[in-house]
Structure 1
Amino acid sequence: MNKRLLLISPYFPPHGVVGEKRALNMVNYLPAHGWEVIVLASPPHFQEKEVSSFHEDSTTTVNYGFITPWLRPIINLFTSKPGSSTSVKPDLSKKPSKSLTPLDQYMWDIPGAIKAGKALIRKHKPDVILVNADPWSGLLVGHRLSQWSGIPWVADLRDPWTVFEEKMALRPRVIQRWIHRLEKTFFHSAAHVILNTRSCKERYTEVYPASVSAKFRFVRNAFDQSLYDPATSDAGKDQVYRFGYFGSFRKFVSPESLLKAFALFVQKYDHSPNEVRLVMTGSPNSEFMYYLNELKLQSFCDIQPAVEVSQTIKVLKSWDVLLLVVSNYYQWMVPAKLYDYMAAQKPILALSANTEVNEIIKETKSGFVCQPDDIEQIADQMEYLFQSRLNDLDNHGPIEEYSVTAQVQKMNQILTQVLPDHSK
Structure 2
Amino acid sequence: MTRTRMPSGGGKAREGLPVLRERRTNPGVLGMRKTVLLVTTDYPPLAGTNTRRVESFARYLPEYDWTPLVLTLAIEDMALIESSWVSDGAVETERVRTPGLQPLVRRLRGQRPRRTKEGEDDAGDGTDGAAHGEGAVWRTALGAVWGLVVALERASYVPDPRRLWSAAASRAALRLAAKRRIDAVVTSSPPFSAHFVGMRLQRRLGIPWVADLRDLWVGRPYRFLPYRWQHHLDAVYESRVIGRADRLSFASPGWVPVFQRRYGSGVAEKITIITNGFDAAMLESNPVRAPARGRGERTRPITMAYTGALHEGESPWPLIHALARVAEQAGAERVRSGFQLRFMGPGDADWDGPRAYLRERGLDGVMRFLGTRSHAESLAEQRGADVLLILSAPPHDETIRGKSFEYMATGKPIFALLPEGSTQAEILEPSGLATIVPYGDVERSARVLAGYLESGVPVVRANWEYIKTFDRRNLAGALAAVLDGCVGTAGTG
Which amino acid is the alignment partner of residue 413 of structure 2? P
Paired position in structure 2 for 1:151:
207
Quick one: which of 382, 401, 414 aligns to 2:469?
401
Paired position in structure 1 for 2:401:
335
**CA offsets, 1:142-201, max 9 Å, x none?**
111221111110100000001326425x43110000011111111111001111111112
Q: What is the DSSP-based 3-state SS (H/G/I as helix, E as strand, rest coil) of the residue aligned with 2:300?
A: coil
CA distance in 1, matches of 2:221, 2:226: 10
Q: Which runs of 5+ in 2 are unaligned?
A: 1-31, 117-122, 127-150, 293-297
Pair 1:301-2:367 in alignment = yes
**CA offsets, 1:39-97, max 9 Å, x none?**
1011132353256677x6x74211012x345866315369998999769xxxxxxxxx8
For the 8 Å contact 1:71–1:108, the answer to whether it is kept is: no
Paired position in structure 2 for 1:13:
44
Which amino acid is the alignment partner of residue 336 of structure 2? P
Quick one: which of 67, 76, 86 aligns to 2:106?
76
Q: What is the DSSP-based 3-state SS (H/G/I as helix, E as strand, rest coil) of the residue aligned with 1:64?
A: strand
Change over 3 Å in CA distance of 1:361–1:78 after alignment to 2 = farther
Which amino acid is the alignment partner of residue 352 of structure 2? M
Q: How does 1:1-400 map to 2 (within 5 A)?
A: 1-44=32-75, 45=77, 46-50=79-83, 59-65=90-96, 67-68=97-98, 73-74=103-104, 76=106, 99-100=154-155, 101-164=157-220, 166-167=222-223, 170-228=225-283, 229-233=285-289, 235-236=291-292, 238-270=299-331, 271-282=334-345, 285-296=348-359, 297-353=363-419, 354-386=421-453, 387-390=455-458, 393-400=461-468
For the 8 Å contact 1:247–1:282, the answer to whether it is kept is: yes
Q: What is the DSSP-based 3-state SS (H/G/I as helix, E as strand, rest coil) of the residue aligned with 1:274?
A: helix
Change over 3 Å in CA distance of 1:251–1:184 after alignment to 2 = same
Change over 3 Å in CA distance of 1:301–1:217 after alignment to 2 = same
| Per-residue deviation, 1:24 | 0.6
CA distance in 1, matches of 2:184, 2:54: 15
Change over 3 Å in CA distance of 1:281–1:166 after alignment to 2 = closer
Change over 3 Å in CA distance of 1:161–1:286 after alignment to 2 = closer
**Percent of aligned positions with the same letter in both sequences?**
20
| Per-residue deviation, 1:12 | 0.8
Change over 3 Å in CA distance of 1:328–1:107 after alignment to 2 = same
Q: What is the DSSP-based 3-state SS (H/G/I as helix, E as strand, rest coil) of the residue aligned with 2:314?
A: coil
Compare CA radii of gyration and give the structure with the larger one.
2
- How many residues end up aligned between the 2 structures? 409
For the 8 Å contact 1:223–1:402, the answer to whether it is kept is: yes
For the 8 Å contact 1:132–1:157, the answer to whether it is kept is: yes
Which amino acid is the alignment partner of residue 67 of structure 2? E
Q: What is the DSSP-based 3-state SS (H/G/I as helix, E as strand, rest coil) of the residue aligned with 2:396?
A: coil
Paired position in structure 2 for 1:93:
none
CA distance in 2, matches of 1:118, 1:382: 56
Deviates more, 1:192-201 or 1:68-77: 68-77
Q: Which runs of 5+ in 1 are unaligned?
A: 88-96
CA distance in 1, matches of 2:274, 2:108: 36
**CA offsets, 1:297-324, max 9 Å, x none?**
3331222343322233321122111111
| Per-residue deviation, 1:8 | 0.5
Which amino acid is the alignment partner of residue 439 of structure 2? P
Q: What is the DSSP-based 3-state SS (H/G/I as helix, E as strand, rest coil) of the residue aligned with 1:143?
A: helix
TM-score for both structures, normalised by structure 1: 0.88
Bigger relative CO (Cα 8 Å, ≥ 6 apart):
2
Which amino acid is the alignment partner of residue 82 of structure 2? K
**CA offsets, 1:317-341, max 9 Å, x none?**
2211111101111112111111111
Change over 3 Å in CA distance of 1:392–1:318 after alignment to 2 = farther
| Per-residue deviation, 1:389 | 2.5
CA distance in 1, matches of 2:446, 2:108: 44
| Per-residue deviation, 1:349 | 0.4
